[in-house]
Amino acid sequence: IMASEQDCRLKLIESRVRAFPDFPKKGILFRDICPILKDPEALLAVTSLFEEYVKDKFQQVDLVVAGLDARGFLFGPLLAQRLGVGFVLVRKKGKLPGATVSVAYDLEYGKAEAEIQADAVSPGQKVILIDDLLATGGTLFAACALMRQLKAEVLGCLVAVELKDLNGADKLKPHSVYSLLQYE
């Protein structure tokens, strides 16, 4: 794919991200991806760019895993379908039936617990983690910790939007982070 076509798709995606100051609390500039979801062309652009990146970087992917409720769930199944692989949910504690594995993590504004069904990922499976936004890295860090507990191999993390000044990517090392849009 030519760079100019990629640039056009990124510009389209960027044009669909809205900024809301002081949400959910004062001092936070919230990046809203809802307009991406409302625009089929922008949603296709996100999915295509993720697909091209994954196919270019990784020989084998067994699963796409979404960290955490809820907006990662919107991009994850679309990418999994494109890649011809399964999709697995990481959810807030208490939302999944059956045996689960859980981990505690820090949020931008508090603490929480994430969990996954114990049989969702098999040891040695190669997984891609996906979420809508990377801020402090808490939720993706928790998803990585769950993958470690289940002995899966994390190939990398994908996000539509990365807030660079919060250094979330540093928290996820050694795992790579691929973000479509970056904001300071």
Tell me how far apart the terminal alpha carbons of the chain are, to the nearest angstrom.
28
The catalytic site residues sit at 71, 108
Give pLDDT, residue 72.
84
- AA letter at 45: A
| 103 pLDDT above the threshold of 90 | yes
Q: Answer yes or no: are the C-beta atoms of 61 and 155 closer than 8 Å.
A: yes
| 70 pLDDT above the threshold of 80 | no
Instruction: List pLDDT tens digits, range 109-125.
Output: 678 899 999 999 999 99
Q: Answer yes or no: are the C-beta atoms of 180 and 51 closer than 8 Å.
A: no
Tell me the two tokens of residue 132: 């809508």
Q: What are phi and psi of 143, to 5 degrees?
A: -60, -40
Q: Which residue has the higher pLDDT, 36 or 184?
A: 36
Give pLDDT, residue 1.
58
Tell me the C-alpha distance between 97 and 80, whole Å.
22
Q: How many domains does the chain have?
A: 1
| 23 pLDDT above the threshold of 80 | yes
* Residue numbers of the domain that contains 58: 3-183
Q: List the CATH number of the domain containing 168.
A: 3.40.50.2020
